[in-house]
Amino acid sequence: MILHERFKDEAFSVETKMINFYISILWKKILRKSKLIIMSDHGLTEIKREVKLPIINGYPVGGGRVAFYIAKKEDVEKILKRRKIPAKVFELEEIYRSPVKRCYENFGNVVVIAEKNVGFRYPFGSEEKLRGSHGSMTKDEMLINVWIGKK
């Protein structure tokens, strides 16, 4: 969570050194002829601007850079444009080939994806500011780091 809150500042550097320390201990303890594979689950992008998402036919749901609405795509586009919220709006089918019924029920039929370096805040969320986030389609967010070591 530190990268979300501090995004590559001094605390991030300290956290990275601590993780490297634990990996070095693990490396010393694994047997010879073993492999150690460490992967990230996703990348991250720096948040330079946060925007509060409006209520449109109900609350939006989602993450730091992608949100869902149960609404008409045109209504969402119009309201976001009027509020100058930098995001792209899609029907769920434009993003996912064959979404199951549960996607519509749990999330909605409209997907809103933040533009580069923009993060979403929700009407019901905390005021805690995040400096880094993921969930969109930039190269940095889709990057999965992999480290493979063989002893």
Q: What is the model's pLDDT at position 139?
A: 59
Q: Which helix (H) or strand (E) holds 55?
A: none
| This prediction's pTM | 0.66
Nearest to 116 by CA among 142, 95, 94: 142
Structure tokens given for 94: 């434009």
CA 44 to each of CA 37, 38, 76, 121, 132: distance values in angstroms, whole numbers, following the listed order: 20, 17, 26, 17, 6
Query: Phi and psi for 116 in degrees, rounded to 5?
Result: -50, 135
Q: pLDDT per position in the chain (151 positions), as tens?
A: 455 555 556 777 787 788 888 888 888 888 888 888 776 655 667 788 889 999 999 999 988 888 999 999 999 999 999 999 999 999 999 988 888 888 888 889 999 999 888 888 888 876 666 666 655 555 565 566 677 788 7
